[in-house]
Amino acid sequence: MHVAYSWVRDDAGLAWLTVVAVPSSDFMGDLGRNVLHTVLVALLAVVVAILLGVYIGTWILADIARLSSAAKRIGRGQFDVPLHIGRRDEIGQLAAALENMQAELGTDRLTGLSNRTALEGHLQRVILSPPAAVEFALLFIDLNGFKAINDTYGHEVGDLVLVEVAGRLRDTVRSSDLVARLGGDEFVIVLWRTGNAAQVAQVRDKLERHLGAPLATLREHVGERQVRVGAAVGVAIYPQDGDSIEGLLKHADKGMYRDKQRHKAYAQESS
Protein backbone atom coordinates (compact mmCIF):
# COMPACT_ATOMS: atom_id res chain seq x y z
CA MET A 1 0.00 0.00 0.00
CA HIS A 2 1.05 3.56 -0.68
CA VAL A 3 -0.35 6.06 1.89
CA ALA A 4 -0.43 9.88 1.80
CA TYR A 5 -1.99 12.30 4.26
CA SER A 6 -2.64 16.01 4.59
CA TRP A 7 -4.04 18.39 7.24
CA VAL A 8 -6.97 20.48 6.10
CA ARG A 9 -8.37 23.37 8.16
CA ASP A 10 -11.71 24.99 7.30
CA ASP A 11 -13.11 28.41 8.10
CA ALA A 12 -14.89 27.05 11.13
CA GLY A 13 -11.60 26.21 12.75
CA LEU A 14 -11.92 22.52 12.32
CA ALA A 15 -8.85 20.50 11.38
CA TRP A 16 -9.26 17.56 9.15
CA LEU A 17 -6.69 14.84 8.56
CA THR A 18 -7.16 13.40 5.11
CA VAL A 19 -5.56 10.09 4.40
CA VAL A 20 -5.39 8.39 1.02
CA ALA A 21 -4.33 4.74 0.80
CA VAL A 22 -3.88 3.14 -2.61
CA PRO A 23 -2.66 -0.40 -3.38
CA SER A 24 0.59 -0.40 -5.37
CA SER A 25 -0.96 -2.71 -7.96
CA ASP A 26 -3.41 0.03 -8.95
CA PHE A 27 -0.75 2.26 -10.50
CA MET A 28 2.61 0.38 -10.32
CA GLY A 29 1.56 -2.95 -11.84
CA ASP A 30 2.16 -2.12 -15.48
CA LEU A 31 5.27 -0.14 -14.65
CA GLY A 32 6.69 -3.02 -12.61
CA ARG A 33 5.99 -5.50 -15.36
CA ASN A 34 7.59 -3.21 -17.92
CA VAL A 35 10.66 -2.81 -15.76
CA LEU A 36 10.87 -6.56 -15.23
CA HIS A 37 10.51 -7.23 -18.95
CA THR A 38 13.17 -4.65 -19.75
CA VAL A 39 15.58 -6.19 -17.26
CA LEU A 40 14.96 -9.70 -18.60
CA VAL A 41 15.42 -8.57 -22.22
CA ALA A 42 18.60 -6.74 -21.25
CA LEU A 43 19.94 -9.82 -19.46
CA LEU A 44 19.07 -12.00 -22.43
CA ALA A 45 20.82 -9.58 -24.78
CA VAL A 46 23.91 -9.63 -22.56
CA VAL A 47 23.94 -13.45 -22.49
CA VAL A 48 23.52 -13.64 -26.29
CA ALA A 49 26.27 -11.07 -26.78
CA ILE A 50 28.61 -13.00 -24.49
CA LEU A 51 27.89 -16.32 -26.22
CA LEU A 52 28.28 -14.75 -29.65
CA GLY A 53 31.52 -13.10 -28.59
CA VAL A 54 32.87 -16.38 -27.23
CA TYR A 55 31.91 -18.20 -30.45
CA ILE A 56 33.44 -15.55 -32.71
CA GLY A 57 36.52 -15.34 -30.51
CA THR A 58 36.95 -19.12 -30.55
CA TRP A 59 36.48 -19.17 -34.32
CA ILE A 60 39.05 -16.43 -34.84
CA LEU A 61 41.53 -17.90 -32.35
CA ALA A 62 41.18 -21.35 -33.93
CA ASP A 63 42.09 -19.97 -37.36
CA ILE A 64 44.94 -17.95 -35.87
CA ALA A 65 46.21 -21.08 -34.11
CA ARG A 66 46.09 -22.97 -37.42
CA LEU A 67 48.03 -20.19 -39.12
CA SER A 68 50.60 -20.18 -36.33
CA SER A 69 51.01 -23.96 -36.52
CA ALA A 70 51.28 -23.83 -40.31
CA ALA A 71 53.93 -21.10 -40.12
CA LYS A 72 56.00 -23.23 -37.71
CA ARG A 73 55.72 -26.29 -39.95
CA ILE A 74 56.68 -24.24 -43.01
CA GLY A 75 59.67 -22.99 -41.05
CA ARG A 76 60.70 -26.64 -40.61
CA GLY A 77 60.55 -27.21 -44.37
CA GLN A 78 57.03 -28.61 -44.78
CA PHE A 79 55.54 -26.90 -47.81
CA ASP A 80 52.26 -28.78 -48.20
CA VAL A 81 50.50 -27.78 -44.99
CA PRO A 82 46.73 -27.65 -45.66
CA LEU A 83 44.98 -24.54 -44.32
CA HIS A 84 41.44 -24.56 -45.80
CA ILE A 85 40.57 -21.14 -44.34
CA GLY A 86 37.85 -19.71 -46.57
CA ARG A 87 37.53 -16.29 -44.97
CA ARG A 88 37.44 -12.92 -46.70
CA ASP A 89 38.77 -10.79 -43.87
CA GLU A 90 42.37 -10.05 -42.91
CA ILE A 91 42.85 -13.58 -41.53
CA GLY A 92 41.69 -15.04 -44.86
CA GLN A 93 44.11 -12.76 -46.71
CA LEU A 94 46.91 -13.87 -44.40
CA ALA A 95 46.04 -17.53 -45.02
CA ALA A 96 46.07 -16.96 -48.79
CA ALA A 97 49.45 -15.25 -48.54
CA LEU A 98 50.77 -18.16 -46.48
CA GLU A 99 49.53 -20.67 -49.06
CA ASN A 100 51.21 -18.67 -51.83
CA MET A 101 54.41 -18.61 -49.82
CA GLN A 102 54.23 -22.39 -49.39
CA ALA A 103 53.87 -22.84 -53.14
CA GLU A 104 56.78 -20.50 -53.89
CA LEU A 105 59.12 -21.97 -51.27
CA GLY A 106 58.45 -25.53 -52.38
CA THR A 107 58.51 -24.97 -56.14
CA ASP A 108 61.37 -24.81 -58.60
CA ARG A 109 60.96 -21.42 -60.29
CA LEU A 110 62.08 -22.55 -63.73
CA THR A 111 60.19 -25.81 -64.23
CA GLY A 112 57.33 -25.55 -61.75
CA LEU A 113 58.33 -28.91 -60.22
CA SER A 114 58.90 -29.44 -56.52
CA ASN A 115 62.33 -28.31 -55.37
CA ARG A 116 64.83 -30.18 -53.22
CA THR A 117 63.49 -28.77 -49.95
CA ALA A 118 59.94 -29.85 -50.76
CA LEU A 119 61.17 -33.28 -51.87
CA GLU A 120 63.02 -33.84 -48.60
CA GLY A 121 59.99 -32.68 -46.61
CA HIS A 122 57.70 -35.16 -48.39
CA LEU A 123 60.14 -38.03 -47.94
CA GLN A 124 60.75 -37.22 -44.29
CA ARG A 125 57.03 -37.28 -43.45
CA VAL A 126 56.52 -40.59 -45.25
CA ILE A 127 59.57 -42.20 -43.64
CA LEU A 128 58.37 -41.11 -40.19
CA SER A 129 54.85 -42.43 -40.80
CA PRO A 130 53.75 -45.90 -39.63
CA PRO A 131 55.54 -48.70 -41.54
CA ALA A 132 52.27 -49.97 -43.02
CA ALA A 133 51.86 -46.69 -44.91
CA VAL A 134 55.39 -46.64 -46.35
CA GLU A 135 56.20 -48.03 -49.75
CA PHE A 136 57.90 -46.05 -52.49
CA ALA A 137 60.63 -46.08 -55.11
CA LEU A 138 62.99 -43.19 -55.83
CA LEU A 139 64.41 -42.58 -59.31
CA PHE A 140 67.45 -40.31 -59.59
CA ILE A 141 67.70 -38.84 -63.10
CA ASP A 142 70.64 -37.04 -64.70
CA LEU A 143 70.29 -35.81 -68.29
CA ASN A 144 72.78 -36.97 -70.90
CA GLY A 145 74.00 -34.43 -73.40
CA PHE A 146 72.44 -31.40 -71.73
CA LYS A 147 75.78 -29.62 -71.26
CA ALA A 148 76.44 -29.80 -75.00
CA ILE A 149 73.00 -28.32 -75.70
CA ASN A 150 73.61 -25.55 -73.20
CA ASP A 151 77.04 -24.76 -74.64
CA THR A 152 75.87 -24.89 -78.25
CA TYR A 153 72.57 -23.03 -78.13
CA GLY A 154 72.90 -20.90 -74.99
CA HIS A 155 71.42 -20.88 -71.52
CA GLU A 156 68.06 -19.51 -72.58
CA VAL A 157 67.45 -22.45 -74.89
CA GLY A 158 68.88 -24.74 -72.23
CA ASP A 159 66.31 -23.47 -69.74
CA LEU A 160 63.53 -24.13 -72.26
CA VAL A 161 64.84 -27.67 -72.69
CA LEU A 162 64.68 -28.20 -68.92
CA VAL A 163 61.07 -27.00 -68.92
CA GLU A 164 60.24 -29.44 -71.73
CA VAL A 165 61.98 -32.28 -69.89
CA ALA A 166 60.04 -31.45 -66.72
CA GLY A 167 56.79 -31.77 -68.67
CA ARG A 168 57.85 -35.13 -70.07
CA LEU A 169 58.70 -36.38 -66.59
CA ARG A 170 55.28 -35.37 -65.27
CA ASP A 171 53.60 -37.12 -68.21
CA THR A 172 55.54 -40.31 -67.50
CA VAL A 173 54.20 -40.93 -63.99
CA ARG A 174 50.88 -40.80 -62.16
CA SER A 175 49.49 -37.49 -60.97
CA SER A 176 49.88 -38.68 -57.36
CA ASP A 177 53.63 -39.30 -57.78
CA LEU A 178 56.21 -36.64 -56.98
CA VAL A 179 58.53 -35.08 -59.57
CA ALA A 180 61.24 -32.73 -58.29
CA ARG A 181 64.22 -30.89 -59.67
CA LEU A 182 67.31 -31.05 -57.48
CA GLY A 183 69.18 -28.45 -59.49
CA GLY A 184 70.92 -28.16 -62.84
CA ASP A 185 69.90 -31.13 -64.97
CA GLU A 186 69.23 -33.49 -62.04
CA PHE A 187 65.71 -34.64 -61.26
CA VAL A 188 64.06 -37.07 -58.86
CA ILE A 189 60.82 -39.01 -59.26
CA VAL A 190 59.16 -40.64 -56.27
CA LEU A 191 56.72 -43.43 -57.09
CA TRP A 192 54.47 -43.67 -54.05
CA ARG A 193 53.25 -47.11 -52.99
CA THR A 194 55.50 -48.76 -55.53
CA GLY A 195 58.07 -51.18 -54.18
CA ASN A 196 57.92 -53.82 -56.89
CA ALA A 197 61.05 -53.98 -59.04
CA ALA A 198 59.06 -54.97 -62.14
CA GLN A 199 56.80 -51.92 -61.80
CA VAL A 200 59.80 -49.67 -61.38
CA ALA A 201 61.42 -51.18 -64.46
CA GLN A 202 58.30 -50.43 -66.52
CA VAL A 203 58.33 -46.80 -65.40
CA ARG A 204 62.04 -46.58 -66.12
CA ASP A 205 61.61 -47.92 -69.66
CA LYS A 206 58.75 -45.49 -70.28
CA LEU A 207 60.88 -42.66 -68.91
CA GLU A 208 63.78 -43.44 -71.23
CA ARG A 209 61.44 -43.57 -74.25
CA HIS A 210 59.87 -40.22 -73.39
CA LEU A 211 63.21 -38.51 -72.84
CA GLY A 212 64.72 -40.11 -75.94
CA ALA A 213 62.30 -38.39 -78.32
CA PRO A 214 63.57 -35.35 -80.33
CA LEU A 215 63.28 -32.06 -78.45
CA ALA A 216 60.41 -29.86 -79.64
CA THR A 217 62.10 -26.84 -78.08
CA LEU A 218 65.10 -27.02 -80.40
CA ARG A 219 62.87 -27.63 -83.42
CA GLU A 220 60.80 -24.53 -82.64
CA HIS A 221 63.60 -22.15 -81.63
CA VAL A 222 66.68 -23.16 -83.64
CA GLY A 223 65.30 -25.44 -86.32
CA GLU A 224 67.04 -28.59 -85.08
CA ARG A 225 64.71 -31.55 -85.57
CA GLN A 226 66.75 -34.52 -84.38
CA VAL A 227 68.44 -33.31 -81.20
CA ARG A 228 67.69 -35.56 -78.25
CA VAL A 229 68.53 -35.56 -74.59
CA GLY A 230 68.74 -38.92 -72.89
CA ALA A 231 69.05 -39.69 -69.22
CA ALA A 232 70.93 -41.89 -66.80
CA VAL A 233 68.63 -43.29 -64.12
CA GLY A 234 69.37 -44.77 -60.74
CA VAL A 235 66.78 -46.45 -58.54
CA ALA A 236 66.41 -46.84 -54.78
CA ILE A 237 63.53 -48.64 -53.09
CA TYR A 238 62.56 -47.90 -49.52
CA PRO A 239 63.44 -49.44 -47.11
CA GLN A 240 65.71 -52.14 -48.54
CA ASP A 241 68.01 -49.67 -50.32
CA GLY A 242 68.10 -47.14 -47.48
CA ASP A 243 66.09 -46.06 -44.46
CA SER A 244 66.89 -42.34 -44.68
CA ILE A 245 66.71 -39.61 -47.28
CA GLU A 246 70.49 -39.41 -47.54
CA GLY A 247 70.81 -43.18 -47.85
CA LEU A 248 68.19 -43.40 -50.59
CA LEU A 249 69.65 -40.51 -52.61
CA LYS A 250 73.15 -41.93 -52.25
CA HIS A 251 72.06 -45.39 -53.42
CA ALA A 252 70.11 -43.97 -56.38
CA ASP A 253 73.01 -41.66 -57.27
CA LYS A 254 75.38 -44.61 -57.45
CA GLY A 255 72.94 -46.45 -59.72
CA MET A 256 72.64 -43.36 -61.91
CA TYR A 257 76.43 -43.12 -62.21
CA ARG A 258 76.65 -46.78 -63.27
CA ASP A 259 73.91 -46.18 -65.85
CA LYS A 260 75.76 -43.12 -67.17
CA GLN A 261 78.93 -45.16 -67.56
CA ARG A 262 76.94 -47.79 -69.43
CA HIS A 263 75.59 -45.15 -71.81
CA LYS A 264 79.09 -43.81 -72.43
CA ALA A 265 80.46 -47.27 -73.13
CA TYR A 266 77.59 -47.97 -75.54
CA ALA A 267 78.18 -44.64 -77.33
CA GLN A 268 81.90 -45.44 -77.74
CA GLU A 269 81.15 -48.88 -79.12
CA SER A 270 78.63 -47.44 -81.57
CA SER A 271 81.13 -44.86 -82.82
Overall size of the chain counted in residues: 271
Q: 185 an active-site residue?
A: yes
47 vs 44: CA distance, rounded Å: 5
Active-site residue (options: 185, 205, 241, 253): 185
Q: Which residues are catalytic?
A: 185
